[in-house]
Amino acid sequence: MAKPPVSVIDRNALPEERQQRILARLRSEGRVVAAELAEAFEVSEDSIRRDLRELAAQGLCKRVYGGALLPTVTLTPLKQRRTEHPLRKQALARKAVSLSKPGQTLLIDAGTTNAAIAAALPVDARLTVITNAPHIAQLLLDREGFEVLLVGGRIDPSIGGAIGAQAVEQVRRMRADLCFPGACAIDAAHGLWGFDSEESLFKRAMIEASDETVVVASDDKLGAVAAHQVAELARVQHLVVEHSADRAVRAAFAAHGVMVHRAEAVSGA
C-alpha cells in the first residue's frame, strides 16, 4: 500500500502536530520507520525518535529498532469489559443498529459491544437473531419481539460465547443478511483480526455465512494488532467507529471501499 504524501504543512508542523500525523500513519499502516519519517517531515532522525519516545510513553506505540509498531491489544476479563465505557458502547450500538432493516436475519457475535447492539435493536422489526452468546440470547428473549437461534458448542468463559468445530459447523449451515463479528483489531491494510485461533475461525464462518458484514470498533481497535487474521478488508462492507475516530484513519478505510459510519459524540464518557 502506497504511503500517503506528506504536505508542506506537515514539514512545518510543531512537534505535537507531527506526532499526530505520525500516529495517523502508524494506525493506517501498522508500522513506521524512523528514517522514512525523518525524510518525509524533513527533520532529523533524533527528532523522530524523540516523537516516538513520547508516543510510546502515552501507550500509543511500541518502539522497536528503527521505528515503531502499534501496541498489541490485550483482552481484559469479560466481567471487567461489561462495566467499561457503557456510554461509548451504546453510541456505537445505536449507529450499528441503524444499518439493519425490518425482517432481516442478523448474526451477532459474543462481546460486550455486541450485547449493546442487541439491547438497541427495535422490538417491532420482525428480526431473527442468531448468536453464539447465551447472554445476548437471554437479553433478546427478555425484551421479546425477536426470533432467537442460539449456536451451541463449547462456551469459552473469556469470550462469553460458543466457539470450536461444532459452533463453526452450525454457522456454516445458516444464512444471514447482516453479521456483527466482534472486533479485536482492524486495520486498513490487513483487515480484521482476532486474539484466539478458534474464535477467529468462528468469526470467519460468520462472515462467510452473511451477505454483508458490519464491524463495530472502538478507537483502540483501529489499526491495532492481534495474532489471527479473520478476514481481509474486502470482506467488510461497513465499519462503525466512535465520533472521536481519527479522520485520517477513517479516510484510509473509506479509500478501500468500506462504508464508514461515525457514532454520535458522547459527553463525559
Note the maximum CA span of the chain: 62
Cα dihedral: 249, 260, 81, 26 (round 10): -10
According to the model, what pLDDT value does residue 9 have? 38
Residue 118 vs residues 45, 114, 185, 201: alpha-carbon distances, Å = 49, 6, 21, 22
For residue 173, is pLDDT > 90?
A: yes
SS3 114: helix
82 confidence band (pLDDT: 50, 70, 90)? low
Distance, in Å, from the CA atom of 254 to the CA atom of 256, rounded to the nearest integer, reads 5
Q: Say how many C-beta atoms besides its own lie within 10 A of residue 195's C-beta.
A: 18
The DSSP secondary-structure symbol of 225 reads: B
Q: Cβ–Cβ contacts within 10 Å for residue 55, how many?
A: 21
Average pLDDT value for residue range 196-212 = 96
pLDDT per residue over 8-29, tens digit each? 435 556 788 888 889 888 877 7
pTM of the model: 0.75
Place of cell 444499518: 99
Distance CA 218, CA 178 (A): 20
- Backbone dihedral angles phi then psi of residue 226, each to the nearest 5 degrees: -140, 175
Cα–Cα dist 39/155, whole Å: 51
Measured over the CA atoms of residue 212, residue 134, residue 129 and residue 122, the dihedral's sign is: negative
* Sign, CA torsion 232/229/117/101: positive
| Tens digit of each residue's pLDDT (9 = 90 or more) over 215-248 | 999 998 887 777 788 999 999 999 999 999 988 8
131: enclosing H helix or E strand: strand 128-131
